[in-house]
Every structure is written in C-alpha cells, then in structure tokens.
C-alpha cells in the first residue's frame, strides 16, 4: 500500500517539525503530507492548527504573529522533552528536506478557517523555485482555494479534501478540475469509494494507522493512505 507520512513521521516525532520531516525522508514511503498557514508578515509556515497553542509553548493565532515572533516558541517539548528546541518550519525549509528524495509532497493549504489572501500564489512560487511541479499534490478543504491555485499553476496536481459526504461527488470533482479526493477512512464507505474510482476519480484516505484498514483500502483500489505510523 502507498503510505503518505501524515504531518511527517508524526507518530514518533512532533508533528510538522523539521525532525519529523527529516525522519520521514528516511522512510521508504510513497509520500509526505503537511499543512501550510500564512504569518502576519506573509511567510509560509508549516503547522496544522490556526493557533500555536496545542503544539507549542506559546499562545495565539499564526496569522497574528510574524515569523520572527513565531520562531521564539518551542514546537518539540510538548511532544517529548528530548525534542525541545524544534521551531516552526517554513515551507522553504521543508521543501529543502524533500527536494533530494523520491517522495510525493502533499501540501495542504489550511485556508478553510482564514482565507490568507495570496497564499496560493506564494505556494506556487515556492514549488516553481524548487522545480517540484511533478512531485507536488496541492489539497485543501477550501475548494475555492484549490480553484485559485489551479488558475495560477495548472500543471500541478490537486486533490479536494472532504470531511463529509457531498451529493454527486464525481460531477463535483470534475467541476473543480481535480482528479483526486482525500477522504476520512471511516467515512470511506465501500460504495462511495468504488463508485468514485469507477468514475475515474483517484481516492486517498486519511488517517489510517492500522494494518487491517490499510489492506481493506488497498483492496478497494484506494491509491494511498495517510498515516502517522507510516510502518503499516
């Protein structure tokens, strides 16, 4: 089964940190996934939540702080004391880690709570600067953000993220000129997955941390699963 290391090697290392990505880069997995937000001074940073509260020793919204202000906080110690000193990574730093590897790079644009005007163009510039157009998949729960990205960079693959069911799924996906959907696995009922695949939609499922479920997904024709554990 194709595995995508979710937020880096996040089962064993603090999610979305440099150490989690360095360790994911050593794994023989298909890809890596991470989440991107925009700082107050328009810098692309890799973090899951809109706020830094859960994963750092700081408090507040990413959008309200500059990169320099964010760099003052520790993003490793709350996972385990041995990882103290990890700081919030920039998109540039993470792409530097994966540029020399074989991994598919799934960049999730976290523009579903805050719009982050201009984030799509900034991400496109980075992909172009690293010459990674062929290895990147852009995804987002904000499908308007996907459409904006497609306008800017039509040659890069995209995927629509879903947290719940939509009617006429295949038609909806085609309207967004995307060839793939990323769906939660517990919601990935047999019939929906099979119908989507039959209609030419690529399906990837999150977040799958057990072997049995990964095998079931593979048998259904799911292309890849997002996993924290990554050693399925």
Q: Which residues bind ligand G3P (CB under 6 A)?
A: 6, 33, 35, 48, 108, 139, 161, 182, 206, 226
**Cα distance between residue 149 and residue 152, in whole Å:** 5
**Cα distance between residue 169 and residue 231, in whole Å:** 31
CB 27 within 8 A of CB 100: no
Query: What minimum distance in Å lies between the beta carbon of 209 and ligand G3P?
Result: 12
* Residue 56 contact, options Ca ion, ligand G3P, none, Cβ 5-8 Å cut-off depending on partner type: none
Query: What minimum distance in Å lies between the beta carbon of 68 and ligand G3P?
Result: 26
Closest to ligand G3P by CB, 84 vs 132, is 132
Secondary structure letter of residue 88 according to DSSP? P
- Residue that is written with structure tokens 């644009």 in the block: 109
Query: What minimum distance in Å lies between the beta carbon of 33 and Ca ion?
Result: 6
**Cα distance between residue 220 and residue 73, in whole Å:** 43
Q: Which residues contact 30 (CB under 8 A, 6 or more apart)?
A: 2, 3, 4, 103, 104, 224
**Cα distance between residue 208 and residue 228, in whole Å:** 8
* Residue 182 contact, options Ca ion, ligand G3P, none, Cβ 5-8 Å cut-off depending on partner type: ligand G3P
* 131: Cα separation from own chain's centroid: 19
Q: Which residues contact 58 (CB under 8 A, 6 or more apart)?
A: 52, 70, 72, 73
Active-site residue identified among 6, 103, 143, 182? 6
CB 79 within 8 A of CB 13: yes
- Binder of Ca ion out of 15, 35, 120, 228 (CB under 5 A): 35
- Binder of Ca ion out of 108, 120, 126, 228 (CB under 5 A): 108
Query: What minimum distance in Å lies between the beta carbon of 180 and ligand G3P?
Result: 11
Binding mask 150-169 toward Ca ion (x if CB under 5 A, else -) reads: --------------------
CB atoms within 10 A of CB 88: 27
- Assess 15 for contact with Ca ion (CB under 5 A): no
Q: Does 48 participate in catalysis according to the annotation?
A: yes
Q: Does 103 participate in catalysis according to the annotation?
A: no
Query: What minimum distance in Å lies between the beta carbon of 178 and ligand G3P?
Result: 14
Closest to ligand G3P by CB, 25 vs 138, is 138
Closest to Ca ion by CB, 129 vs 163, is 163
Q: Give me the active site residues, please.
A: 6, 48
Q: Which residues bind Ca ion (CB under 5 A)?
A: 35, 108
């Amino acid at each position: 089964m194709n595995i995508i290391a979710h937020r880096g090697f996040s089962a064993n290392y603090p999610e979305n940190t440099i150490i989690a990505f360095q360790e994911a880069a050593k794994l023989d997995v298909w890809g890596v996934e991470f989440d991107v937000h925009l700082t107050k001074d328009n810098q692309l940073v890799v973090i899951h939540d809109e706020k830094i509260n859960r994963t750092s020793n700081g408090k507040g919204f990413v959008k309200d702080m500059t990169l320099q202000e964010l760099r003052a906080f520790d993003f490793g110690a709350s996972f385990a004391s041995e990882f103290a000193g990890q700081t919030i990574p920039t998109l540039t730093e993470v792409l530097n880690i994966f540029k020399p590897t074989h991994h598919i790079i799934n960049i999730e644009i976290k523009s579903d709570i805050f719009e982050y005007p201009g984030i799509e163009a900034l991400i496109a510039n980075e992909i172009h600067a690293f010459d990674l157009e062929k290895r990147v998949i852009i995804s987002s729960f904000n499908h308007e953000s996907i459409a904006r990205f497609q306008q800017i960079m039509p040659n890069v693959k995209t995927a629509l993220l879903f947290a719940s069911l939509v009617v006429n799924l295949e038609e909806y996906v085609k309207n967004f000129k995307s060839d793939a959907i990323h769906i939660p696995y517990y919601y990935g009922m047999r019939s929906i997955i099979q119908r989507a695949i039959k209609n030419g939609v690529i399906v990837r499922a999150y977040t799958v941390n057990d072997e049995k479920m990964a095998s079931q997904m593979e048998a259904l024709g799911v292309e890849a699963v997002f996993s924290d554990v990554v050693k399925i």
